[in-house]
Amino acid sequence: MCGFVGFTNKINDANIVIGKMMDRIKHRGPDSDGKYVDENIAMGFRRLSIIDLSAGDQPIFNEDGSVVITFNGEIYNFQSLRDELIKCGHTFKTKSDTEVLVHSYEEWGPDMLGRLRGMFAFIIYDKKKNEIFGARDFFGIKPMYYGLFGDTFMWGSEIKSFLDHPAFVKELNESVLETYLTFQYSPTTETFFKNVYKLPAAHCFTYANGKLKVKRYWDVHFDPDDEPRLKDWVNRISDTFKNSVEAHKIADVEVGSFLSSGVDSSYVAAVANVDKTFTVGFGEDEKYNEIGYAKEFSKFIKKDNFSKVITPEEYWDNLAKIQYHMDEPLADPAAIALFFVCQIASEKVKVVLSGEGADEIFGGYTIYKEPTDAALYNKVPKCIRRAIGAVAEKLPAKRGLNFLVRRSRDLEERFIGNAYMFSEKERKALLKIKTDAPDAKEITKPYYDKVKDQEPATKMQYLDLNLWMTGDILLKADKMSMAHSLELRVPFLDKEVMKVAEGIPVRYRVNDENTKYAMRVAALKACPPFTANKKKLGFPVPIRVWLKEEKYYNIVKNAFLSETSKKYFNTDILVKLLDDHRANKYDYSRKIWTVFTFLIWHKVYFEDER
């Protein structure tokens, strides 16, 4: 696990600038660094040594030095690819997976991507063609950003590295602020910085002669197969997942595992047979503290558990640092819990396994049951449901009314992912600024169009795989682990596991009994029943409680009344949300946190000196 930066060389002091950009992301790779600079390009690299500790430094070249690469990630089938490439006549100087990518590019060009199994983001410079080729892995586990500033093209694992380049212009992208208010993260290829973009998951690009071409090279294709019985699917899941875990354990250093109380991380920890597990929690309330369960489960699998109770003071004191590492504001409170579990894990190991992705590929979120649970109400004529929903929407927020509002709309209107903070109407009222931001349906429509003939649960899964998982789940997983120089691996997000999941019928994913049903049954082979059937918590955070306490209420209120807040928001609306939440009129904690997180991030990147 590492980090890279680079730019097309149009400056005299490229060697100095690339060095400063590399220093910005030293946390991603504290073990060593390397760079390549010529008249056309500057490439920098920071390394966290995991495989081939003595000889895997980057950049790495091909035999004649005409192809150079910087790479972040792990290729889990690199050994078999290496054998194949040797038979094709390639000569290797190292035993690293990075060099396998160099020779794969030489042998197969962009078609190399279809042969890879792993998580990756990489940049290859072909000197003979004077062309840059870059790619991001199938699910978006590893990040890749790029910027276009005049005739300078720059790229990197983190946006913050761009701050040290003289061509970079730091300017807030206000249209992304508006979409963020709805999604709680930036959901498009645009970022909060103007002219800086995210390379989407499963996409690659070429840059030559000043022109950038981006294309998709892989996609998920759900194709349910009703022939196999549940037992057959369970066996397929079990066998394929074990194989994936073994591949994800390949390392020349010790590997640990995160452990919450849910089935995903428990399944990973049990199958992986690692020596150490890591857990965090808040206070003593079981709603917010999974440490007791984690210790019990760790005893069951005969492993050591290391845990930490996070105090409210620690949580709030680290918010600015966390948003700095995040690059863009992310209003998921679990990101902070993840920051701390990565911290305690990094004290013991360099690599850790985690359960991200299981919900999206196997159908694990409770919201996926909504179409089935509301089947009876769906029989009410649509015109009547819409009329009821219109009335309910005008009433003061209250539990139960949201169901009537949601069920008055089609799936494509009501579901944008697991977080829906401010509606288009709400965010327009909240914002003082005017933007050309697309509404949520414009963003989700291309994904819904691809699965228009699928069942509702599958449509929701596909949308989450492309938006929520990449924009929230995997973003915080990468940034929080790398903040502590820790490599985080996600064995559920494997091409081979996805192949199995694509064929599972909806009734074995989501049914009246449970979500990700077939996967839970498979987990019973490795976990006790109390684990396989346990409700998901996932490092829950008590922000709704803290926001009612005097100390934290005032911290947020002061932020809402700041000059920055007054510039972007109608602050009377913000204060009313905060006061109504404190008065127990409704739980507005997530909406409050969404705006508060942006204000913290804005202070870090646009008000403080960085």
pLDDT in tens, 594-610: 999 999 999 999 998 65
Name the least confident of 49-63, 325-339, 355-369, 470-484: 49-63
Q: Six-digit token pair at 568?
A: 């972007």
Give catalytic residues, as residue numbers: 2
> 468-497 in b/e burial notation, b at 16+ Cβ within 10 A?
bbbbbbbbbbbbbbbbbbbbbbbbbbbbbb
Question: Under a CB-based contact definition with an 8 Å cutoff, are residues 43 and 67 in contact?
Answer: no
Integer-rounded Cα radius of gyration of the chain: 24
Per-residue pLDDT for 470 more than 70?
yes
Is the pTM value of this prediction over 0.75?
yes
Average pLDDT of the chain, as a whole number: 92
pLDDT level of residue 399 (50, 70, 90 thresholds) = low
The amino acid at 368: Y
Query: How far apart, in whole angstroms, are the C-alpha atoms of residue 407 and residue 378?
Result: 7
Per-residue pLDDT for 78 more than 80?
yes
Q: To the nearest whole percent, how much of the chain has pLDDT over 90?
A: 80
- End-to-end CA separation in angstroms for the chain: 25
Give the ranges where 347-381 is alpha helix by DSSP (H).
Answer: 358-362, 370-373, 375-378
pLDDT level of residue 583 (50, 70, 90 thresholds) = very high
Per-residue pLDDT for 441 more than 70?
yes
Query: How far apart, in whole angstroms, are the C-alpha atoms of residue 308 and residue 70?
Result: 36
In this prediction, residue 445 carries a pLDDT of 97
Helix (H) or strand (E) holding 15: helix 14-24
pLDDT level of residue 282 (50, 70, 90 thresholds) = confident
Domains parsed from the chain with CATH numbers? 2-216 (3.60.20.10), 230-364+464-532 (3.40.50.620), 542-610 (no CATH)
At 499-552, the pLDDT tens digits run 999 999 999 999 988 999 999 999 999 988 877 666 655 556 889 999 999 999
Per-residue pLDDT for 110 more than 80?
yes
211 three-state secondary structure: strand
Per-residue pLDDT for 286 more than 90?
no
Question: Under a CB-based contact definition with an 8 Å cutoff, are residues 571 and 563 in contact?
Answer: no
In this prediction, residue 413 carries a pLDDT of 87
Measured from the Cβ of residue 602, the count of other Cβ atoms closer than 10 Å reads 22
DSSP 8-state assignment for residue 534: P
In this prediction, residue 134 carries a pLDDT of 98
At 222-231, the pLDDT tens digits run 999 999 999 9
The torsion angles phi and psi of 94, rounded to 5 degrees, stand at: -130, 175
Name the least confident of 258-262, 343-347, 379-383: 379-383
In this prediction, residue 136 carries a pLDDT of 98
Name the least confident of 202-206, 213-217, 247-251, 463-467: 247-251
Tell me whether strands 304-309 and 131-136 are parallel, antiparallel or unpaired. unpaired
How large is the average pLDDT for residues 477-502? 97
pLDDT level of residue 251 (50, 70, 90 thresholds) = confident
In this prediction, residue 608 carries a pLDDT of 87
In this prediction, residue 32 carries a pLDDT of 82
In this prediction, residue 261 carries a pLDDT of 77
Query: How far apart, in whole angstroms, are the C-alpha atoms of residue 144 and residue 470?
Result: 12
pLDDT level of residue 163 (50, 70, 90 thresholds) = very high
In this prediction, residue 49 carries a pLDDT of 66
Instruction: Output 405 or 145, whichever has higher pLDDT.
Output: 145
How large is the average pLDDT for residues 338-361? 96
At 325-343, the pLDDT tens digits run 999 999 999 999 999 999 9
How large is the average pLDDT for residues 440-447? 97
Instruction: Output 301 or 501, whichever has higher pLDDT.
Output: 501
Q: Six-digit token pair at 387?
A: 């009329």
pLDDT level of residue 56 (50, 70, 90 thresholds) = low
Per-residue pLDDT for 387 more than 60?
yes
Query: How far apart, in whole angstroms, are the C-alpha atoms of residue 351 and residue 200?
Result: 25
The torsion angles phi and psi of 524, rounded to 5 degrees, stand at: -60, -20
Query: How far apart, in whole angstroms, are the C-alpha atoms of residue 387 and residue 375?
Result: 18
pLDDT level of residue 310 (50, 70, 90 thresholds) = very high
In this prediction, residue 371 carries a pLDDT of 81
Helix (H) or strand (E) holding 565: helix 563-568
Tell me whether strands 152-156 and 145-149 are parallel, antiparallel or unpaired. antiparallel
